[in-house]
Amino acid sequence: MRLLGDWVFGPTGIETKQLPCNDYDQTAGAMRTTAAGVNHAQPGDPAKPAAAIVHIAGVADPPLRIQLGRDSYAAIANKLAFVAGERKMWHDLSVSTDHDEITPV
- Condensed to tens digits (0 to 9), the pLDDT of residues 69-100 reads 999 999 999 999 999 999 999 999 998 998 88
Residue type at 26? Q
* pTM tops 0.75: no
Q: What is the pLDDT of residues 15-26, one digit of tens each?
A: 656 656 778 888
pLDDT of 25: 81
The CA distance from 94 to 75, in Å, is 26
Q: What is the pLDDT of residues 15-65, one digit of tens each?
A: 656 656 778 888 888 888 888 777 777 778 889 999 999 999 999 999 999
The Cα diameter of the chain in Å comes to 69
The CA distance from 43 to 4, in Å, is 10
List, as one string, the DSSP characters of 70-104.
Answer: HHHHHHHHHHHHHHHHHHHHTHHHHHTTS-TTPPP
